Amino acid sequence: MQRRLIAAMAATVSVAACAYNEDLGRKQFLLVSNDSLVSASNQAWAETLRQGRVSQNTSYNARVTTVGQKLVQAAGVADRPWQYVVFEDASANAFVLPGGQIGVNTGLLALVQNDDQLAAVIGHEIGHLTAQHAAERYSQTAASQAIVAAGASAVGGTGTEKARLLSSLGGAGAQVGFLLPFSRRHELEADALGVDYMARAGYRPSEAVALWRLMAQNRTAGGPPQMLSTHPTEEARIQALEALIRQRGLS
């Protein structure tokens, strides 16, 4: 009985939420949209600004904003709010929040050799947002929790047992976790979208490949931690990007 209930829930959820995304060429499981994460995102951003060291370097800020604005135009999402902030941080990192906040570290600005490479990173971050990756990850977490919660209450048991069951299956993920690394699939999708935005904005997509080579070199040279170093390896990204650039006839 319990099992049937859970299966029915899971089925309802997936029928209601699986929508085909043309840009990604696959179905997405979305219980929420990116827009419904905006207020949580704004809170996370306020916290990030409080905790991080915001750079006051006006030329850094102008550079990131200029590249970012060209890319959001190219991505067709310039009509929503975007913010660009540079953080004093030696790791070659960048991130995006669902509210359109883009953070770029000074360590990344020090590493990139040109604006095309910077555009590869920012285009990638914009890709995470347009592809609704945060909403998709949130939906997956919420659904697995709902199913586990239904299982826990059907099974009975003490509150402590239920709590343990929930936390073992990502109860902690109830916090939206915007800054967690994305999955390998999400990373590669964001790479592909980023390359399209680069090309449309007049940047050279081949510089995305050069950037990841640089990231890999910097890492083996014992540089500071690299962007999302675990997902996926630079070699896998480079190969996927090269294939994509060839296939699209870009350079």
Q: Which residues bind Zn ion (CB under 5 A)?
A: 182, 187, 190
Q: Which string of b and e fits 65-76 if b means at least 16 CB within 10 Å? A: bebbebbbebbe
CB 194 to Zn ion: min, Å: 9
CB 93 to Zn ion: min, Å: 10
Report d(CA 80, CA 56) in Å as an integer.
25
CB closer to Zn ion out of 166 and 192: 192
Q: For residue 189, which of 233, 228, 237, 235 has the smallest C-alpha distance?
A: 237
Report d(CA 13, CA 129) in Å as an integer.
23
CB closer to Zn ion out of 60 and 95: 95
CB closer to Zn ion out of 152 and 176: 176
Q: Are 53 and 63 in contact, with CB atoms under 8 Å apart?
A: no
Give the angle subtended at the CA of 243 by the CAs of 239 and 245, to the nearest 5°.
115
CB 225 to Zn ion: min, Å: 14
CB closer to Zn ion out of 135 and 190: 190
CA 222 to centroid of chain Cα atoms: 25
CB closer to Zn ion out of 111 and 190: 190
Which amino acid is located at 43 in the chain?
Answer: Q
Q: H or E element: which one contains 18?
A: strand 18-21
CB 218 to Zn ion: min, Å: 17
CB 156 to Zn ion: min, Å: 41
